[in-house]
Amino acid sequence: MRNVILLLAPAALAAGVSSRPIAPSPLPPVHDAQQHPERTDPDVQRPLAWLVAAQNTDGSWGETAKSERPDVATTAIAGLALLRMGHTGSRGEYQDHTRRAVRFIAAAVKRTPAEEIAVNEPGTLPQRKLGRNIDTFMAAQFLAEALPTLPKGEQRRAREALAGCASRIERAQSADGSYAKDGWAPLLASSFASNGLLAARDAGVKVSRSTLEKGQQNLVEKYDDKTKVFSTSDAAGVALYSAAASGLAAAQMERAAPAEPATPVEKSRKARAIATREAASTALSNEQVMRGFGSYGGEEHVSYMLTAEAKAEIGGAEWAEFSRNIRARLASIQREDGTWRGDHCITSTTFCTAASLITLAIAPRSNGRAS
């Protein structure tokens, strides 16, 4: 099993997580994260309007409004926010913005040589924190969710780009099932890669079943059922990132498993998924874990997004409690203009605002799966 830090604070031990190492760099004091603890429900209209206004004419987004250095990862998460808020490729007030984002990403994939995995030039903020290939991983999920909503005349281009991303993700997988080893928190990147492949498969793109399962298994195994601890060795030492990524993969595996597993291997995998999902649920109900790095960065915002997906898979009272708490948390740190911004690492207003909107849009569907 992976190395974990064994010097645990009492509260962290109770939550089944390892404590984080010393920060790699000082935290920039951007703003007071808990300005408005009295707020219990966030505003979604102002951040949505800001996000739409921040988009470049070519459909791209970058760290700030009308950024001169846009990137595929930021464009993908912003486009995904529009989709989840009901502005699809053919419906909603901002449907044209969604289509333009698809075109920008599809063009980026098309001009990238087939042998290269990364579909964006190096040096972006998301890449520095989540690895060189994060653009490819996030593009896959956005394109997969946008594809069935697009007018028929635009679907071919999007499907080709999605297939290209899926193929690249499969080639990015390491022998242990992970998809990233670089960046500050590569575990989050592996989670995005796994989710991108799953979404691509659900959109009708051919995906290797063994690759997909291997990636999910790698994430689930971040939880050690013997020590009752989530490994944080590739999660920047932050328990939130590990529990969120592992918990979502476990919920996905549990859902996909047969009701009555027929073989010992199937029984073992399902039992492992259930144990990990339950452990993640406990950890992600702990305030110390939910504070992540200690302040709110983009990594915290995407971890809340992953956690919301996992909790929505479960539904019921657990979802209701999480939804109430996360809405109050996001409301308390929402800025006066309605946006969210990171205090460390991924500080991008666009990235954090988009991730928060996605979190707020997630809800269980009638069939029990997250929407």
pLDDT at site 147: 98
Residue 295's pLDDT band (boundaries 50, 70, 90)? confident
pTM of the model: 0.88
- DSSP secondary structure letters along 219-241: HHTTEETTTTEE--TTTTT-HHH
Residues 130, 73 contacting (CB under 8 angstroms): yes
Whose tokens are 């004419």? That residue is 57
- The full set of domains in the chain, from first to last, is 13-18+33-361 (1.50.10.20)
Residue 36: its pLDDT value, please?
A: 58
pLDDT on residue 37: 59
What pLDDT sits at residue 1?
35
C-alpha distances in angstroms, 17 versus 11, 103, 239?
9, 42, 6
pLDDT at position 30 is 35
CB 277 within 8 A of CB 254: yes
Instruction: List, for residues 110-137, the tens digit of each pLDDT value.
Output: 999 999 999 999 999 999 999 999 999 9
pLDDT in tens, 330-357: 999 999 999 999 888 888 999 999 999 9
Tens of pLDDT, residues 22-73: 233 332 333 344 455 566 789 999 999 999 999 999 999 999 999 999 999 9
Burial class (CB in 10 A: 0-12, 13-18, 19+), 315: middle
Whether the per-residue pLDDT at 367 is higher than 50: the answer is no
**364 SS3 class:** strand
